[in-house]
Chain A
């Protein structure tokens, strides 16, 4: 099962409504994925000298401000922090590898959910409605977003196994389906320097796209290659800093529907998620064809 949604705003005047649109879509996908939920939101791009991290702590009492002070001292740099439930977004002018090393050494209990200049990822166990309330999803402003509701079939129900997965800067993927050659592919990618945090199959798909992009492929080219290298069932929605794309496997086993008008492009596992969006009455609605890459923006 699982439900996925994606929204890409063509009219930037709607950026303040992104969270409302995303929350309405995610709530409709509750029955498809009651185990856990997650979102990736592209917003508040930081200065090129800085890196933005979304961090997760399983400890509800975790002292994020103390981490901010220690991190600022260690890197002699200012740290901006925004705490949201079990997650916090850090922005700091420091090299990413050094930050990772420092966090691993000093705070091994923390997980990096996303890294980049624009992306933020939040995910948690529990129903989508609980997630929306806890993370104030309606309040997000931004340019585009992905969402996922999970019914686990292939690995454990934990925050770490929840979607979306990000394995590279500002890249994010949500997946409905299951991959059958992920173990082999994971080993191949690991040999090429791609790091994974879990044994989840969808994380391998995200890692695969990252590896392709590192080789110089565009997102569209990376997804076209994925048709050849990924074996299994999938409907993917993919986000990059300025782009959004959708791909279904050649058998089109998993559902997907898309809609577009002058203001936005949306995709979802079921139309009822898209039916919530303003202006849907006049949008063009269609089912994405199998093995066909659909992309918008700088993809």
Chain B
């Protein structure tokens, strides 16, 4: 295990060393809300961050398994390509935005715009999510064990949303869909991979009504 103390050495040095590390296990101390910790890593390494982080932690992650023992600021795991980011606390807005792949697990709550424009990644939130989550989400899965805020899935494309609790309101062109056996299995596998204990049977599925894909004069009022 390599220990790196951000109270003793600069963030730039840490990220440079992480970018050059082909493998290994890292422990990062005193994050103290700094931005871009462990962003841009592209190797199958394990990174544990002991405390709260600022913006864009684990952004653009490829392959690495990152664990944050605290809460995260805006844009955690933004544009993730693969690997895992696990947050023990809460996350601020735009968690997992634009993610192409990989898995983001939030053990607490996520605030607004969670999974905005996600493009194939998976996000599992054990608590609740804020307003405008999965806005224009293109593909991938967003799982929320508790409640979702207003305008869920506004202008959504082909991402799939599972909500265990209530939904304040759905955004334009987002509708509830039937929970098939195939979806139940997919959700059960994702919850299991995330280490989250929840009964897939209590979730509802939401997705695109596909009415906004092309302009249609009959649907002008939806725009």
| A residues neighboring B (CB under 8 Å) | 251-252, 255, 257, 270-276, 285-287, 289-290
State the Cβ distance, B126 to closest chain A Cβ, in Å: 16
- Tell me the complex Cα distance, A167–B32, Å: 35
**B140: Cβ under 8 A from any A Cβ:** no
**B205: Cβ under 8 A from any A Cβ:** no
- Tell me the complex Cα distance, A251–B111, Å: 11
Q: State the 6 A-B residue pairs at the shortest beta-carbon distance, nearest first.
A: A272-B33, A271-B33, A275-B32, A275-B33, A287-B111, A252-B112
Given A252-B112, A252-B130, check contact A271 B90 (CB 8 Å).
Answer: no
Given A252-B130, A255-B74, A285-B52, check contact A272 B112 (CB 8 Å).
Answer: no
Chain B contact patch, size range:
10 to 19
**Are B112 and A270 in contact (CB-based, < 8 A)?**
no
- Tell me the complex Cα distance, A257–B89, Å: 14
State the Cβ distance, B138 to closest chain A Cβ, in Å: 23
**Are A285 and B71 in contact (CB-based, < 8 A)?**
yes
Q: How many A-B residue pairs have CB under 8 A?
A: 45
Between-chain CB contacts (< 8 Å), 10 pairs: A251-B131, A255-B93, A270-B73, A271-B33, A271-B71, A272-B33, A272-B35, A272-B54, A275-B33, A285-B90
Interface of A is mostly: loop
**Are A274 and B33 in contact (CB-based, < 8 A)?**
yes
Instruction: Write out, one digit per residue, whether chain B residues 62-79 have a CB within 8 A of any chain A CB (1) or not (0).
Output: 000000000101100000
Given A285-B71, A287-B92, check contact A272 B34 (CB 8 Å).
Answer: yes
**Are B131 and A290 in contact (CB-based, < 8 A)?**
yes
- Tell me the complex Cα distance, A272–B34, Å: 6
- Tell me the complex Cα distance, A257–B55, Å: 12
- Tell me the complex Cα distance, A251–B130, Å: 10
- Tell me the complex Cα distance, A252–B131, Å: 9
- Tell me the complex Cα distance, A169–B90, Å: 38
**Are A272 and B32 in contact (CB-based, < 8 A)?**
yes
> Which residue, A252, A273, A287, A290, has most C-beta atoms of chain B within 10 A?
A287
Contacts of A251 in B (CB 8 A): 112, 131
Instruction: Write out, one digit per residue, whether chain B residues 39-61 have a CB within 8 A of any chain A CB (1) or not (0).
Output: 00000000000001011000000
State the Cβ distance, B201 to closest chain A Cβ, in Å: 30
- Nearest-CB residue, chain A, relative to B93: A252
Question: Other than the known A275-B33, A275-B52, A285-B90, what 20 A-B pairs have Cβ atoms closer than 8 Å?
Answer: A252-B111, A252-B130, A252-B131, A255-B74, A257-B73, A270-B54, A270-B55, A271-B33, A272-B32, A272-B35, A272-B54, A273-B33, A276-B32, A286-B90, A287-B90, A287-B92, A287-B111, A289-B130, A290-B130, A290-B131
